[in-house]
Structure 1
Amino acid sequence: MLTAKRAWRRFTRASQPAFESFVAGYVRFSIWWMRLYPVSWSSNIIGTLGRWFGPWFVVSKVARANLRAAFPEKRSAEIERILAGVWENLGRVTGEFAVLDRIWDYDPANPGQGRIEVVGGEIMARLRDDGRPALFFTAHTGNWELNAITGEKLGVSGGVLYRAPNNRKAADLIERMRAQTMPGLIRAGRSAGRQMVRMLEDGEHLGMLVDQHWGQGVTVTFFGRPAATNPTLSRLARQFDCPVHGMRVIRLPKGRFRIEITEELHLPRDAEGKIDVQGGMQAVTSVIEDWVREYPEQWLWLHRRWR
């Protein structure tokens, strides 16, 4: 006898291709629609909608719990203000994705004149010319997609590790769009490790987001609470003994962005003189915590970082 549960499973499997096509079509239409207008329009519209409606979504319960645990001294009104800002920032990131190729207008000869300003451009110039591999860590702050564009635009060859959406057709569409502005994309998966090692062996540069939960990771302290963190960055730094730098995007008023590249972060070493994996990730996480404390409304509090 066919149980209701088994029938539902059959139905979901049978309808999965149609559902994926629908989602991919929706993403394609949204991108087409957003590219019809000036850069600021879709950012402003979707950002405003995010601020108005986002706090009512169920997932906002996760963000509120995270914010209260991280900032026990803040009152409820302040927590709600930050949460509204989180949703606005996420909405703006979504609206800006379709026009990333139009956002970048940084001119080293006239810094501060366009939408993009860069702090630490001289660091990128050194890395570009020293012939050595290097690692970059970043977080879901500001419009984090701009991190992946920065290296290529400043002449620093390399790649970026990223996690593709679960919807295969939507993932392929998004990857094709990213490839236009982000060369060297490495999709997280079984072959990602080999690709990253090969890239560093060739003296190139690699960036990755390291601020999300990773079940099999090392444990670090983030806002005073234990958090499981992907140790790949520290492991690669240990293997290649290469410099590690931070890079973040800060959203500024009037549709502008500041991209900051830090000087080399000297990670702790063990008794053998090699980079300590757990200690290295703690050092990186502490930098990210400082970033989040400075602009809490620009970080993705919706993620279950602590479990």
Structure 2
Amino acid sequence: MTETETQEPIALRDRIANAAFLALMGIARILPYDRRIPFMGWLFAHVLGPLAGWRRRIRDNLAMARPDLTAHEVRHLTRAVPENAGRSLAEIYSGTEFTDRIHEADPLTGPGLAALEQAAQAGRPVILAVAHFGNYDAMRAALSGRGWPVGALYRPMNNEAFNRHYIPAMRAIAEPMFPRGRAGLASMLRFLKGGGWMALGFDQYDGHGAELSFFGLPSKTVLTPAELAIRYDALIVPVAGIRQPDGLSFKVEVGAPIPHSDPASMMQALNDDLELLVRAHMEQWFWVHRRWKRRG
């Protein structure tokens, strides 16, 4: 059995939802790439996002983090954020049409790129600090296109039927991938210790994390990326796949390396770096997350 196989029966509701998604992607694949990606963006912006309640969540988060925005700017973001998510999902399911574009463009840039090249030559472990911004998989495709060993930790979806095609689609972009859980974590640590590169997210609420600041608000932030960088003497850099104005191409920005100090200070530096990036491209961060969730 693989991670995507199970002996447990799949609930009828999950099978129906998965069938609907596959039918939708089947229709989208009929379109040429340059039309398929905008089509899925439009569908998420105007149909699926509103049905999922994303617009309300986006408005609530913006009211906390960016109360200075005008009503017009907020309305724009309630559509632009789901549109970016829809485009990203369509890109994942476009296989080599997506990855070949990234490899041919070789869009890597930024002040931390030279440090990545040095780490690759030295066989030094690397922590790639990533967020739900732009298209995360553009970063994976760009790095793997250079022949660099980019691993990723993922959480299987609750819908097992969906996992059976979603996880292979992500694996086709770059490998290795490690499922969350004891076995996946052990494999990930062996990979990192051996000089591998791991993409680790840090922009979601973590109830066990440190209370740091993001957009001037207290935000529970995971410390694991910094802790692993210190433990394995790994280079740690922020990386983001920034969608370009044409909606189809990317710039993969490698930020300056984060100096090793204490984990909380390192993660605050990453929060600050991400905040600057989000402020410059508000529509590309996934404002749907409950980033500032408060218990009680």
Structure 2 length as normaliser, TM-score? 0.87
- Structure 2 residue aligned with 1:263: 256
2:225 to 220, 226, 233: 233
- The C-alpha deviation readout for 1:93-150, integer Å capped at 9, x for no partner, is 1222211421232467xxxxx5x62214544432321111111011111112222222
| Counterpart-to-counterpart distance in 2, 1:106 and 1:81 | 28
- Structure 2 residue aligned with 1:80: 75
* 8 A Cα contact 2:103 2:145, kept in partner: no
User: Post-superposition shift, 1:25?
Assistant: 2.9
| Counterpart-to-counterpart distance in 1, 2:65 and 2:23 | 38
- Structure 2 residue aligned with 1:306: 292
Say which is worse superposed, 288-297 or 88-97, in terms of deviation: 88-97
| Counterpart-to-counterpart distance in 2, 1:25 and 1:168 | 12
- Structure 1 residue aligned with 2:5: none
- Structure 1 residue aligned with 2:108: 118
1:140 to 132, 138, 148: 132
- Structure 2 residue aligned with 1:253: 245
* 8 A Cα contact 2:125 2:194, kept in partner: yes
- The C-alpha deviation readout for 1:142-177, integer Å capped at 9, x for no partner, is 112222222211111131112221111211221112
Change (3 A) 1:30 1:123: farther
| Counterpart-to-counterpart distance in 2, 1:242 and 1:124 | 11
- Structure 2 residue aligned with 1:9: none
- Structure 1 residue aligned with 2:94: 99
- Structure 1 residue aligned with 2:64: 69
The percentage of aligned residue pairs carrying the same residue is: 26
Structure 1 length as normaliser, TM-score? 0.84
| Counterpart-to-counterpart distance in 2, 1:21 and 1:160 | 27
| Counterpart-to-counterpart distance in 1, 2:229 and 2:97 | 34
Q: Residue 213 in 1 paired to residue 199 in 2?
A: no
Aligned-residue CA RMSD in angstroms?
Answer: 2.2
2:274 to 288, 298, 306: 288
- Structure 2 residue aligned with 1:273: none
Q: Residue 46 in 1 paired to residue 33 in 2?
A: no
Task: Give 1 or 2 for the bigger CA radius of gyration.
Answer: 1
1:59 to 37, 45, 54: 54
- Structure 1 residue aligned with 2:181: 189
Instruction: List gaps (5 residues or longer) in structure 1.
Output: 1-13, 109-113, 270-275
- The C-alpha deviation readout for 1:172-195, integer Å capped at 9, x for no partner, is 221112212221011122223212
Q: How many residues align?
A: 281
- The C-alpha deviation readout for 1:192-211, integer Å capped at 9, x for no partner, is 32122101111111111211
* 8 A Cα contact 1:134 1:205, kept in partner: yes
